[in-house]
Structures are given as structure tokens and as C-alpha cells.
């Protein structure tokens, strides 16, 4: 069993508050991702869980044991946690096999047990052929996989991964996502994963914590935070979205910048609102409530990426690739929208969407 409980953790470096009142429980066997822009405090949180950094205030528990807080501090080597660092240090003088075997040698496992475990894990990260190579004979991505194998080989109950796929090309990245998920499913370990890549977070996580400016903006399943973001920032960070100013009237939202055209609305907001719509949620259809002119479209194979002018507003519409051949620039089209997200019209949008750097 491995749960992580983080209570009111705040971390400051000098004047700089990097994380504020972080509160979370990561469940046993859960795959949790800390997602957020560069500099938002993801690595710092991971290092505090591992014991390489102390919280300024607050407590961290692994299972029921207090490991950081008050006068208590359990050093990293006593926490039984596996970690892959963002900088994936591997030992340059050891070949791949010995790098990966190292944690088991420390545990004084038998030669045979070590060989079996190392071979298994090297196979999982597609490095069996490279067992005898030194790190300087490997690419960055291969070295990163050595670090991943080394963290996995001792089958820790809690695995902390800090952007472990950042150096891999797109194809390998996808297959490694799957491998990491598989390893997690097979072993039932708890994984805390750090990335700034929203697709990776969506694909892998049971639960995502989206962090910005040192605070958790929203936590939830990938579908929750993608479809029901609690703020324009979250809507914008996960996937593509466009914002439109509107006003709620009986049963609809009217858009002044779209020549007063409207979309049906049955929610509880009133008055001026900011409406967010993902481009795949605008649908070209003959009976849509809005009318516009197709300005451009790009055929991308699986989809058509279109721009439709409605009044003074250009709307991005991602339509099915199968519409190829039916789209004519300059022609009238009708649109409807599904899953619109409606927020209060507060604050300057640029300010709300800005990230901490
Ligand atoms: N030891 C340190 N001393 C002072 N400031 C630090 C220290 N470690 C981190 N910081 C600062 O804390 C903030 C958060 O850093 P952190 O490495 O946790 O960000 P991150 O979310 O992992 O970013 P990235 O995606 O770029 O890796 C940054 O502003 C960083 O400069
Ligand atoms: Mg980092």
C-alpha cells in the first residue's frame, strides 16, 4: 500500500512562494499527474514527496507515517520511493545493465534475481539490446529510459516521475506512455507523474492536479477537467478553446460581436458572460442556430480546420475530414455548438490566461 497525504504544504525560496497551501491525498494504486506550466512548482512538489526538499510549512505523510513536518524529516533513502528526475542522471561509468541493477545490488539481492529483474525491466523499456553500452553511447531518450528502468527495477510502492518522456520522439513517447501505464497496472503501484504536456496527462492519469501560480487550480479526472473546467484558465490550458463575450437573455446567450446572433442556453448564469467553446464542439449543420461565411479551411486528413466569420468574429471550427469536397470558401454555413462553457465576465482575459514564468 502507498498513499501520499499532503497537508497545507507551502514552499518558499527566499521571497518567492513557489507552492501555496497544497492539500491532496493520492490514493493507493492511483496514477496522479501534476500538470502545469513551466515554473509552477511541479518538480518542487515531487522533490518534497521524495525528501530532497523540505516544505516551509505543512506536512507530508506516506501511508500513515509523517515523513516531513514539524521537527520530523525522514531522509529520501528511508522513504522507499522510486524517482526519475527531470535531469535523469545515470552513472556514466556503469553500463546500462549495471545502472539498472544498482538499486538491487544495494539491497543485496542474489545475482540470479538481479539478472532476471533487470532483463525484465530492460525489455519493458525497449533497451534489451543496449545492456552492455555505456551512457555516452546512448541517445538522450535512451538514457532517460535507463533512468526509468532503474526507478522501476526495485518495484517501489510509490514511483515519482518528473517528465520522464520529455526527450523521446513522438512515436516512442506514445509507446512508453502505454508501457508505464501497463507496468503500473501490473504492479498496482502509486504513481505521481509530472508533465507540462496536457495530452500526456490526459492519456495517462486517473486524476490530474492542474497547478498555476503555486496553487492547485482544479483537480479531477481528465474528462472532468476537460469538459467541466472551473475557470477560463483551466479551459485554456487543456486543449484548444476560444472565448466569446455574450449576454444571457431568456433561454439564450446573445453575442454582440456576432451581429447579435445567439446560442441556446439553459444554465443559471445571468447578465454578461464569457463563453468558451472548443473548436471541435462547433458543428457545421444545416439547421444550426448561427449563420456565417466560410472564410478558409485546411484539409488535415482526419479533420478540416475551418474559419467561419460570424458578424465581426472569426470562429474556428474543427469539422470532420469526411466533409472534404463539400466545403466552399465564401459560402454561407450554419453552425451549432455543444458543450459550451459559460463563465462570469470578470477580469481581463489576457491576465486570467497568463501563466507564471
Ligand atoms: N533551490 C531553489 N532555490 C530557489 N528557487 C528555486 C529552487 N528550486 C526551484 N526554485 C524556483 O521555484 C519555482 C518552481 O520551480 P520548479 O522546478 O518546481 O518548477 P516546474 O513546475 O518543475 O517547472 P518546469 O516545468 O520548467 O520543470 C521556479 O520559479 C524556480 O525558479
Ligand atoms: Mg520541473
Kindly list the structural domains of the chain, giving each domain's residue range(s) and its CATH number in brackets, ordered by start: 4-233 (3.40.50.300), 240-353 (2.40.50.140)
> Measured between alpha carbons, how far is 357 from 355 in angstroms, rounded to an integer?
6
Residue with CA at minimum distance from ligand 1 atom 4: 13
pLDDT string in tens for the chain (357-residue length): 699 999 999 999 999 999 999 999 999 999 999 999 989 999 999 999 999 999 999 999 999 999 999 999 999 988 989 888 877 778 999 999 999 999 899 889 999 999 999 999 999 888 999 999 999 999 888 888 899 899 889 888 899 999 988 878 888 888 888 888 888 888 889 999 999 889 999 999 999 999 998 999 999 999 999 999 999 999 999 989 999 999 999 999 999 999 999 999 999 999 999 999 999 999 999 999 999 999 999 999 889 999 999 999 999 999 988 887 788 899 999 999 999 999 999 878 888 887 654
Give distance in angstroms: CA of 38 to centre of ligand 2: 7
SS3 (DSSP) at 323: helix
C-alpha cell at 37: 506550466
Strand (E) or helix (H) holding 223: helix 222-227
Residue with CA at minimum distance from ligand 1 atom 29: 39
Q: What does the DSSP 8-state code read for residue 325?
A: T
Could you tell which of 18, 36, 200 is best to mutate to test the pocket of ligand 1, judged by most ligand atoms within 8 Å of the CB? 18
> Measured between alpha carbons, how far is 357 from 275 in angstroms, rounded to an integer?
27
Give distance in angstroms: CA of 160 to centre of ligand 2: 12
pTM of the model: 0.87
How big is the chain by its Cα radius of gyration, in Å? 25
Half-sphere exposure of residue 208, counting CA atoms within 13 Å on the CB side?
28
Amino acid at each position: 500500500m502507498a498513499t501520499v497525504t499532503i497537508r497545507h504544504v507551502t514552499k518558499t525560496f527566499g521571497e518567492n512562494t513557489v507552492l501555496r497551501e497544497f492539500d491532496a491525498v493520492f490514493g493507493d494504486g492511483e496514477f496522479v499527474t501534476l500538470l502545469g506550466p513551466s515554473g509552477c512548482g511541479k518538480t518542487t512538489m515531487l522533490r518534497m514527496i521524495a525528501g530532497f526538499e523540505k516544505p516551509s510549512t505543512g506536512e507530508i505523510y506516506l501511508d500513515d507515517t509523517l515523513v516531513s513536518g514539524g521537527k520530523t524529516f525522514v531522509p529520501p533513502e528511508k522513504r522507499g520511493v522510486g524517482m526519475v528526475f527531470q535531469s535523469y542522471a545515470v552513472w556514466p561509468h556503469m553500463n546500462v545493465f549495471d545502472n539498472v541493477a544498482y538499486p538491487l545490488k544495494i539491497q543485496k539481492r542474489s545475482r540470479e534475481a538481479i539478472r532476471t529483474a533487470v532483463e525484465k525491466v530492460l525489455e519493458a523499456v525497449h533497451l534489451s539490446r543496449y545492456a552492455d553500452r555505456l551512457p555516452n553511447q546512448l541517445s538522450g531518450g535512451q538514457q532517460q529510459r535507463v533512468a526509468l528502468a532503474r526507478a522501476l527495477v526495485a518495484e517501489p510502492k510509490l514511483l515519482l516521475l518528473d517528465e520522464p518522456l520529455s526527450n523521446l520522439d513522438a512515436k516512442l513517447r506514445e509507446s512508453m506512455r502505454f508501457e508505464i501505464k501497463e507496468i503500473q497496472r501490473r504492479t498496482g503501484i502509486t504513481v505521481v507523474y509530472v508533465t507540462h504536456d496536457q495530452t500526456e496527462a490526459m492519456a495517462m492519469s486517473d486524476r490530474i492536479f492542474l497547478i498555476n501560480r503555486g496553487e492547485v487550480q482544479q483537480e479531477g479526472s481528465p474528462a472532468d477537467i476537460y469538459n467541466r473546467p472551473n475557470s477560463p484558465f483551466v479551459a485554456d490550458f487543456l486543449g484548444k478553446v476560444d472565448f466569446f463575450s455574450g449576454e444571457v437573455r431568456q433561454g439564450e446567450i446573445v453575442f454582440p460581436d456576432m451581429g447579435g446572433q445567439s446560442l441556446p442556453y439553459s444554465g443559471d448564469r445571468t447578465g454578461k458572460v464569457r463563453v468558451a467553446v472548443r473548436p471541435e464542439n462547433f458543428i457545421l449543420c444545416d439547421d444550426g442556430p448561427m449563420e456565417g461565411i466560410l472564410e478558409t479551411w485546411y484539409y488535415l486528413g482526419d479533420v478540416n480546420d475551418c474559419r467561419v466569420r460570424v458578424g465581426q468574429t472569426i470562429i474556428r471550427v474543427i469539422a470532420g475530414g469526411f466533409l472534404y469536397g463539400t466545403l466552399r470558401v465564401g459560402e454561407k454555413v450554419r453552425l451549432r455548438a455543444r458543450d459550451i462553457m459559460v463563465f462570469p465576465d470578470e477580469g481581463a482575459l489576457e491576465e486570467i490566461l497568463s501563466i507564471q514564468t
